[in-house]
Protein backbone atom coordinates (compact mmCIF):
# COMPACT_ATOMS: atom_id res chain seq x y z
CA UNK A 1 0.00 0.00 0.00
CA UNK A 2 1.56 3.21 -1.17
CA UNK A 3 0.49 6.25 0.87
CA UNK A 4 -2.03 8.45 -0.93
CA UNK A 5 -3.27 10.67 1.92
CA UNK A 6 -0.96 13.40 3.12
CA UNK A 7 -0.56 16.65 4.99
CA UNK A 8 -3.67 18.68 5.63
CA UNK A 9 -5.91 15.93 4.26
CA UNK A 10 -4.64 13.56 6.94
CA UNK A 11 -5.11 16.08 9.73
CA UNK A 12 -8.66 16.91 8.64
CA UNK A 13 -9.58 13.22 8.41
CA UNK A 14 -8.28 12.51 11.92
CA UNK A 15 -9.99 15.53 13.49
CA UNK A 16 -13.34 14.96 11.75
CA UNK A 17 -13.25 11.22 12.43
CA UNK A 18 -12.48 11.72 16.11
CA UNK A 19 -15.20 14.38 16.43
CA UNK A 20 -17.80 12.07 14.89
CA UNK A 21 -16.81 9.21 17.20
CA UNK A 22 -17.00 11.46 20.27
CA UNK A 23 -20.43 12.62 19.11
CA UNK A 24 -21.58 9.01 18.72
CA UNK A 25 -20.27 8.15 22.19
CA UNK A 26 -22.06 11.18 23.64
CA UNK A 27 -25.42 9.90 22.43
CA UNK A 28 -25.38 11.18 18.87
CA UNK A 29 -26.92 9.31 15.95
CA UNK A 30 -25.72 5.83 15.06
CA UNK A 31 -24.46 7.04 11.67
CA UNK A 32 -21.83 9.14 13.46
CA UNK A 33 -19.82 5.92 13.89
CA UNK A 34 -18.85 6.41 10.24
CA UNK A 35 -16.14 8.60 11.79
CA UNK A 36 -14.09 5.42 12.18
CA UNK A 37 -13.43 5.44 8.41
CA UNK A 38 -11.76 8.87 8.11
CA UNK A 39 -9.95 8.32 11.42
CA UNK A 40 -8.39 5.06 10.23
CA UNK A 41 -7.59 6.28 6.70
CA UNK A 42 -5.98 9.40 8.15
CA UNK A 43 -4.00 7.40 10.68
CA UNK A 44 -2.61 4.92 8.15
CA UNK A 45 -2.23 7.46 5.33
CA UNK A 46 -4.00 5.33 2.74
CA UNK A 47 -7.51 5.60 1.31
CA UNK A 48 -9.00 2.87 -0.90
CA UNK A 49 -11.39 5.37 -2.53
CA UNK A 50 -8.44 7.55 -3.57
CA UNK A 51 -6.80 4.47 -5.05
CA UNK A 52 -9.93 3.71 -7.10
CA UNK A 53 -9.98 7.22 -8.58
CA UNK A 54 -6.22 7.62 -8.93
CA UNK A 55 -6.08 10.52 -6.46
CA UNK A 56 -3.17 11.28 -4.16
CA UNK A 57 -2.72 14.20 -1.75
CA UNK A 58 0.61 12.83 -0.52
CA UNK A 59 3.51 14.64 -2.15
CA UNK A 60 6.26 12.17 -1.28
CA UNK A 61 4.35 8.90 -1.43
CA UNK A 62 5.30 8.23 2.20
CA UNK A 63 3.11 8.73 5.29
Contact 57, 9 (CB under 8 A): yes
Please give the residue that has the higher pLDDT: either 33 or 56.
33
**Could you tell me if residue 62 is inside a domain?**
no
**Could you tell me if residue 20 is inside a domain?**
yes
Give rounded-to-5 percent helix, strand, coil for the chain: 65, 0, 35
**Could you tell me if residue 12 is inside a domain?**
yes
Closest to 59 (Cα-Cα) out of 39, 41, 45: 45
Give the separation between CA 56 and CA 63, rounded to whole angstroms.
12
What's the number of domains the chain is made of?
Answer: 1
**Could you tell me if residue 61 is inside a domain?**
no
19's CB contacts (< 8 A; 6+ apart) are 35
Q: What is the pTM of this model?
A: 0.86
**Could you tell me if residue 14 is inside a domain?**
yes
Residue 61 has what DSSP assignment? S
Q: What is the pLDDT of residues 7-25, one digit of tens each?
A: 999 999 999 999 999 999 9
Q: What percentage of the chain has pLDDT greater than the value 70?
A: 94
Domain with 37 in it: 7-53
Amino acid sequence: MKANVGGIDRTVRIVVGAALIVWALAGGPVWAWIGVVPLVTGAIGWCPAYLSFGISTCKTGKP
